[in-house]
Amino acid sequence: MSTVLFACMDADTLGGIQRVTHTVAQGLAGRGHEVHVLGLHRAESPFRYVERPGYHRHVLHRTPMGAKVSRLGARRERRMVADLCRRLDPGFAVLTSPGAVTRLRSLLPGHLLPIGQYHGSYQHARGSWHLGSVRGHYGRLEKAVFVSDDDAWLFSEHALLPNAWSIPNPLPAWPARAADLAAHRVLGVGRLEGVKRFDRLISAFALACRDVAGDWELHLIGEGEDRERLREHALACEIADRVVFRGAVPATEMGREYLAGSVLGLSSEHEGLPLVVAEAASHGVPAVAFDVSGGVRSLVLDRRTGALAPPADVDAFAAALARLMASERERRRLGAAARAHVEAFRLERVLDRWEALFEHILR
């Protein structure tokens, strides 16, 4: 068994990187590995992902991410990282973001082999500083891990990475039963903020409702600063009575939400590997999504496990949504195939892939 250190810029904020990190850390600890999760900064509103963690947790700075680190703080960071690493047996340091790679790579001792993760898509990285950072730093690591085969290939080709590898994000649990898909309910799940583009989902739903009979509703699950703007948009689309703002729902109760839904709508501008699609699929709920990344394509196989629309094409999204809203038979066909497809994202299978990566590096 190996020692595995997962390092995040902030390990305890409510977010995708953090959720995946704690899920994998707990899974590897359950298999007998000595696992540590390190946050460089404290979370402003800490979220507890695992009630009884089998791994060790560490936070370096008392300041939240984004706060400037003083020279004294930087010296303290180097000292604390060195002290922590000195106590660890040989193993691996998984650096979960470009920021973590640039901050920690030079501080790691030789007995901890560095692995870099990137949770976003190549398309997103290309439009930000991330691509330059990945190109400049990840090639020096033992492996650079991406969330889909498509993204690993794109980074290897366009960021010139000879060490690209892919491991998907895992589903934290597997439901015992699937939704019956009879309810007239479309689900939108995520933070109510710009990048998720729930305004496009509302617009597409409004267009679909013109072509589909029945008392269909769109349930938006999540909180965020765009809530009132989205409420006004639903009013402008003349479907305010059909759009239900549910607010935040605890993770432990999301299974009930998926079981009560019939279609998931994913309208984001960019995504890495959206776990919400995998979770819906594990409950047998098919998704309609914009084709914005290899991670999305790895989950939604067009016309086989769900439906894809070209990025930002609201009319195409609405047409795909209407097809599923109009046919319970089609929803069940795609939902059953989606549930079978995401078996590969079950936690045990993803842990197998992490252990295979460790063995590959040691060979």
- Considering the domain architecture, whether residues 128 and 199 belong to the same structural domain is answered as no
Residue 180 belongs to a domain: no
Do 204 and 253 have their domain in common? yes
Residue 22 lies in a domain: yes
What's the rounded Cα separation, in Å, for the pair 240 and 230? 10
Residue 175 lies in a domain: no
Residue partners of 293: CB distance under 8 A and separation at least 6: 120, 121, 122, 123, 124, 148, 150, 151, 270, 271, 272, 273
Domain identity same for 192 and 148 = no
pLDDT at 325: 98
In the block, tokens 């960071």 appear at 77
- Can you give the pTM of this predicted structure? 0.88
For residues 149 and 194, state if they share a domain: no
pLDDT computed for residue 43 by the predictor? 87
Judge whether 179 lies within some domain. Answer: no
The answer to whether residue 149 is domain-embedded is yes
176: in domain? no
Q: Helix (H, G, I), strand (E, B), or coil: what is residue 207?
A: helix
The C-alpha atoms of residue 340 and residue 342 are separated, in whole angstroms, by: 6
Helix (H) or strand (E) holding 130: helix 130-137
Name every residue whose Cβ is closer than 8 Å to that of residue 181 and which is 6 or more positions away in sequence: 262, 284, 285, 328, 331, 332, 335
pLDDT, position 109: 94
Find the domain containing 122 and state its range.
3-170+346-362
Q: Which residue has the tokens 């098919």?
A: 286
Length of the chain in residues, anyone? 363
Instruction: Round to whole Å and give the CA distance between 222 and 331.
Output: 24
Amino acid at 127: G
The secondary structure element, H or E, covering residue 228 is helix 227-236
Distance between CA atoms of 339 and 182, rounded to whole angstroms?
Answer: 17
Q: Are residues 165 and 190 in the same domain?
A: no
- For residues 11 and 116, state if they share a domain: yes
Residues 221 and 111 in one domain: no
Same-domain pairing of 283 and 353: no
Structure tokens at 7: 């390092």
In this structure, are 124 and 156 located in the same domain? yes
Q: What is the DSSP string of 59-86?
A: EEEEEETTSPPPHHHHHHHHHHHHHHHH
How far, CA to CA in Å, does 69 sit from each of 9, 22, 77, 126, 166?
13, 25, 9, 28, 33
Let me know if 75 is exposed, middle or buried by CB neighbors in 10 A (0-12, 13-18, 19+).
exposed
63 domain residue, yes or no = yes
pLDDT of the chain along its 363 residues, tens only?
899 999 999 999 878 899 999 999 999 999 999 999 999 998 888 888 888 999 999 998 878 777 677 787 778 888 898 999 999 999 999 999 999 999 999 999 999 999 999 999 999 999 899 999 999 999 999 999 999 999 999 999 999 999 999 999 999 889 999 999 999 999 999 989 988 999 999 999 999 999 998 899 999 999 999 999 999 999 999 999 999 999 988 888 999 999 999 999 999 998 989 999 999 999 999 999 999 999 999 999 999 999 999 999 999 999 999 999 999 999 999 999 999 999 999 999 999 999 999 999 998
What is the spatial distance between Cα 309 and Cα 197, in angstroms, rounded to a whole number? 14
Q: Return the pLDDT at 45.
A: 83
- What's phi and psi for 58, nearest 5 deg? -140, 145
Same domain, 195 and 147: no
- The CATH number of the domain holding residue 234 is 3.40.50.2000
Where in 100-233 does DSSP place strands (E)?
Answer: 112-118, 143-146, 164-166, 185-189, 217-221
Asked if residue 38 and residue 163 are part of one domain, the reply reads yes
The strand pairing partners of 288, in sequence order, are: 265, 307
Q: Is 105 exposed, middle or buried (0-12, 13-18, 19+ CB in 10 A)?
A: middle
Let me know: does 56 contact 22? Beta carbons within 8 Å.
no
Count of structural domains within the chain? 2
pLDDT at 327: 97
Q: How far apart are CA 24 and CA 30, in angstroms?
A: 10
Note whether residue 298 is domain-resident. Answer: yes
Q: Are residues 133 and 216 in the same domain?
A: no
Q: What is the pLDDT of residue 13?
A: 86
